[in-house]
Amino acid sequence: MTTHNMLIAPDFSPERFAGWHMFNILIQKRANLNMHLNMPASHAEQEALIDAGDIQVIYANPFDAATLIREQGYRAVARPIGKSDEMVIAASANSDINCLEDLTAGSTISMANNRDVKLIGLRLLEAVDLEEADLNWTVTETYQAAARQVIKGDSQAGFFLAEVFHSFSRLTKTQLNVLIESDLADISHVLLIKEDFPDTEILMNAILNLHNDDDGKEALTELGMPQGFEPMSEEDAEFMLDLMETLMD
């Protein structure tokens, strides 16, 4: 049996790692397909894997989805229900920075390498007259490392994927002060399938029905998307990409 490659964008919370393996095992069984799970650790690794040209299924972040759909022959087929991509800007609870207005030009922002988070964060900072060039940037390996820098006072604020921020330990969270959390609602990760993939229908059937039984529900809960996936039309995807386009500058 042919083995297909599925890639998961590297920006999920570490606690979801097991969930993606459960997801892969279940859909392989139910669709009777061999799927190899690729979980790149960084955006660069993701790009290298996709450029190698043998990835049929991608759980992509919305920023990457634009290029993958419009330039690389993928189409969006599903998205998680009720799980939009949001971000948090937080400062140290011990600092003098209590609101966005307290951030000034020359401040340092810590963040992991995630372009969606940076893009949305920069859009939120427009409201206090801060642009990318006004700030210093420290890119860390993980969001946890970014949180440590903020707490230690090495940077004035951190940009975090909201889901990861909310998964931090209670101790970490008590040392951080949320300045703003986005509530964009219309932007989410999407499941993409290469246009010439022959088994789309059987794969989609397995994925869209995962929430209908206990094993599927368990995997979805592990992924933090208990309601499962909903189908996404070409127009839904194009609309989201238009929306992303408005945020680019």
Interface with other proteins, residue 71, by CB under 8 A: no
Cβ at position 68, least distance to other proteins in Å: 18
Cβ at position 17, least distance to other proteins in Å: 28
Cβ at position 122, least distance to other proteins in Å: 10
Interface stretch with other proteins, choices 148-156, 165-173, 176-184, 220-228 (CB under 8 A): 176-184
Per-residue H/E/C for 152-216: HCCCCEEEEEHHHHHHCCHHHHHCEEEEEECCCCCCCCEEEEECCCCCHHHHHHHHHCHHHCHHH
Could you give the CA distance from residue 122 to residue 249 in angstroms, rounded to a whole number? 10
Cβ at position 140, least distance to other proteins in Å: 23
Q: Which of 128, 145, 202, 208 binds other proteins (CB under 8 A)?
A: 128
Interface with other proteins, residue 195, by CB under 8 A: no
Cβ at position 125, least distance to other proteins in Å: 9
**Tokens 């049929």 sit on residue:** 56
Cβ at position 227, least distance to other proteins in Å: 18
Interface with other proteins, residue 66, by CB under 8 A: no
Interface with other proteins, residue 137, by CB under 8 A: no
Interface with other proteins, residue 183, by CB under 8 A: yes
Could you give the CA distance from residue 60 to residue 69 in angstroms, rounded to a whole number? 10
Cβ at position 105, least distance to other proteins in Å: 13
Q: Which of 110, 149, 182, 188 binds other proteins (CB under 8 A)?
A: 182
Could you give the CA distance from residue 23 to residue 225 in angstroms, rounded to a whole number? 11
Cβ atoms within 10 A of the Cβ of 82, count? Answer: 12
Interface with other proteins, residue 246, by CB under 8 A: yes
| # chain residues binding other proteins, by CB under 8 A | 22
Q: Which of 51, 196, 214, 235 binds other proteins (CB under 8 A)?
A: 235
Interface stretch with other proteins, choices 3-11, 174-182, 189-197, 199-207 (CB under 8 A): 174-182
Integer angstrom CA distances of residue 115 from 89, 101, 235:
14, 23, 24
Interface with other proteins, residue 124, by CB under 8 A: yes
- Catalog residues that contact other proteins under the rule CB under 8 A: 123-124, 126-129, 180-186, 235, 238-239, 242-243, 245-247, 249
